[in-house]
Amino acid sequence: MRRFASLTALSAALATGAAAQGFPQPSGFTWEDPVLRRIWAAGMDSSQLPTLAQVLLDSLGPRLTASPGMEAAQRWLLQVYASWGITARRERYGTWRGWRRGGTHVDLVAPRVRTLEATMLAWSPGTPRGRPVRGGVTILPDVADSAAFAAWLPSARGTFVLVSGPEATCRPDDSWDKWATKDVADTVKARRRAAQQAWTERTRRLGYTGNALQRRLETAGVAGIVTSRWTGGWGSMTVFGAATDRAPVVSVACEDYGLVYRLAAHGQGPVLEVTASAEALGEIPVFNVIGEIRGRELPDEFVMLSAHFDSWDGGSGATDNGTGSLVMLEAMRLLKLAYPAPRRTILVGHWSGEEQGLNGSAAFVADHPEVRAGLQALFNQDNGTGRIQSASAAGFTDATGNFARWLSRIPSDLTRDIRFSFPGSPGFGGTDHFSFVCAGAPGFGLFSDDWDYGRYTWHTTRDTFDKVSFDDLRANATFTAMLAYLAAEDTVRTPRQQRTVFAPRNNGQPGAWPRCDEPDRETPPLVPPATAGGR
């Protein structure tokens, strides 16, 4: 807790974060509502976002589900809310595979020495007792079928197996477009596509893919599994999870993976030394954090703010989804300052388990029929640091009127660049508002500008504090707080009539309103190593 020694002083400053004098006025806007004026002042002139973000993203860091990092960050959330006079609690929804990350160090030690840019995947076992393990390198074989793969497996024992296709160039396509002739650039991109297709077909013939392939290699006694998932941008790789109990699984950056692959492919005897420390913690309880400002007139009707708090742990979980979490945290601060006695109850959900399938939010919806029934509106934010640029009525055909009333009262400085779609679509499970929409409750997604999200920060080792645009987050938090206030005060319940006309599905069947899946309340069993096909 020494890391948070300054939290008391910080919390005091935040709790007294009354609007400063001389705050910038929105252009061409005349204030008619003192609550909106106070929200603007506190949000735009005395934002606490940089200070909160520095603690969350630098000191606490990534928040993998069922990790000590997640527990520490959730307890910090509770402390911050308490310092603002907001009631908050951790609410258990199930259990998950607990895991503590230690260090990862990967060296190429032959035919030359090079320290590689690498990290182990989440939930990977470490090397035995965290000590260095050396081994040669093998590449997944190009075989005719699963029987030939089974015959090859004994030769992989004690080696590090490369399971990803190599990139011939880690120079992004747009760099080739900029510097090469068009013919050369087109040729390079065509070769890249062909190589990717060939690798996909090569792995298909093995009879194992994904987690099942990891498990099968582990049972063959490999020293470890080496993967690489390049995003297509300079120096960026995505980092997900492992499915092994004994064999460490490490992800290596595009350039270094290509080096090791070429050495192995040309028979030049690459040897890796891997040191990885990790602790499996067993199946442990997992929680959402729920904050509440109780309603004065309609306490059993709800406006809810929503963002997933969990992350992958290759970086700091900054834009996925520290930024959305911070927007909702700051919006609650603004509401407590400017609107401490709301007409309806205002809730905030900081979800766990989103990265494993919306488990935290889906469990909350299942466990709280009273919130589902009494929900006036939920506003969710999940995809990066940019200013909110799109929203829709999520397929609720008559919710347009409510949205229009709310938006008409918010300064155009915050709304003019947002594209609104009515009635919109309910979506099919990408973010946490879907957990409410599929249950027929009005949940709305607030989607940000791209800001190279998919290319550089989505689930990557580059998703860190320095990628955050605080001016945009400040606008997002102010906008979200205003939406929540206006929805809480609205005299009209948000209608729930659902659209009935949809585009056909990919399989040709008629489209329909989506159904909710049951959340995973515990870690699903690992893929049996003898099961072909994988998942």
Opening angle at CA 433, ends 52 and 238, nearest 5:
65
Give me the helices (H) in 220-319, please.
254-265
State how far Cα 167 lies from the chain centre.
Answer: 26
Q: Closest by alpha carbon to 380, among 295, 441, 313?
A: 441
Cβ 314 vs Cβ 461: under 8 Å:
yes
- Convert the pLDDT of each residue in 7-36 to its tens digit: 434 444 444 443 344 456 787 778 899 999
In CATH terms, is domain 28-97+283-489 a member of 3.40.630.10? yes
Strand duo 344-351 + 298-308: pairing = parallel
Cα-Cα-Cα-Cα dihedral of 372, 378, 384, 387, to 10°? 170
Number of neighbours of residue 51 by Cβ within 10 angstroms: 13
For residue 511, the number of C-alpha atoms closer than 13 Å in the C-beta half-sphere is: 14
pLDDT at 251: 98
CA angle 233, 237, 241 (to 5 degrees): 155
Residue whose tokens read 């009354």: 18
Q: Could you tell me if 395 and 498 are in contact, meaning their C-beta atoms sit under 8 angstroms apart?
A: yes
Q: Could you tell me which residues are beta bridge partners of residue 345?
A: 302
pTM of structure: 0.93
**What is the predicted pLDDT for the residue at 510?**
80
Closest CA to 291 of 278, 302, 276: 302
- Per DSSP bridges, beta strands 87-110 and 114-115 are antiparallel
Supply the DSSP string of 43-78, one letter for each residue.
HHHS--HHHHHIIIIIII----TTSHHHHHHHHHHH
Are the folds of 28-97+283-489 and 112-269 the same?
A: no
Q: Is 56 exposed, middle or buried (0-12, 13-18, 19+ CB in 10 A)?
A: buried
If you search the block for the tokens 């979506």, which residue do you land on? Answer: 427
Compute CA distances 371 → 3, 302, 346, 374, whole Å: 36, 7, 11, 5
Alpha helices for 167-286 (secondary structure H): 173-179, 182-204, 210-219, 254-265
In this structure, the number of other CB atoms found within 10 A of the CB of residue 430 comes to 12
CATH number of this structure's domain 112-269 = 3.50.30
Please report, for the chain, how many H helices and E strands are present, in that order. Answer: 16, 14
Q: What is the pLDDT of residue 19?
A: 38
pLDDT (0 to 100) of residue 532: 41
Mean pLDDT by groups of 10 residues along the chain of 535 residues = 46 41 68 95 96 98 98 98 98 98 98 98 97 98 97 98 97 97 97 96 95 97 98 95 97 98 98 98 98 98 98 96 98 98 98 98 98 98 94 95 94 93 89 97 96 95 97 97 98 96 82 94 80 40
User: Could you give the CA distance from residue 101 to residue 255 in angstroms, rounded to a whole number?
Assistant: 24
CA 374 to chain centre: 28
Please report the pLDDT score of residue 142 as a whole number. Answer: 97
Would you say 108 and 259 are in contact if contact means Cβ atoms under 8 Å apart? yes
Residue 377's pLDDT is 98
* Neighbouring residues of 212: CB distance < 8 A, sequence distance ≥ 6: 243, 527, 528, 529, 531, 532, 533, 534, 535
The angle formed by the CA atoms of residues 279, 282 and 283, to the nearest 5 degrees, is: 140
233: which DSSP letter? Answer: S
| 309: its two tokens | 């708090």
Can you give the pLDDT at residue 528? 66
How much helix, strand and coil, in percent to the nearest 5, is found in the chain?
Answer: 40, 20, 40
SS3 310: coil
Annotate 139-168 with DSSP letters as a single string.
Answer: E----SSHHHHHHHGGGGTTSEEE-SPPPS
**Domain limits, the chain:** 28-97+283-489, 112-269
Q: Which residue has the tokens 């990885």?
A: 276
Tokens of 432: 């946490």
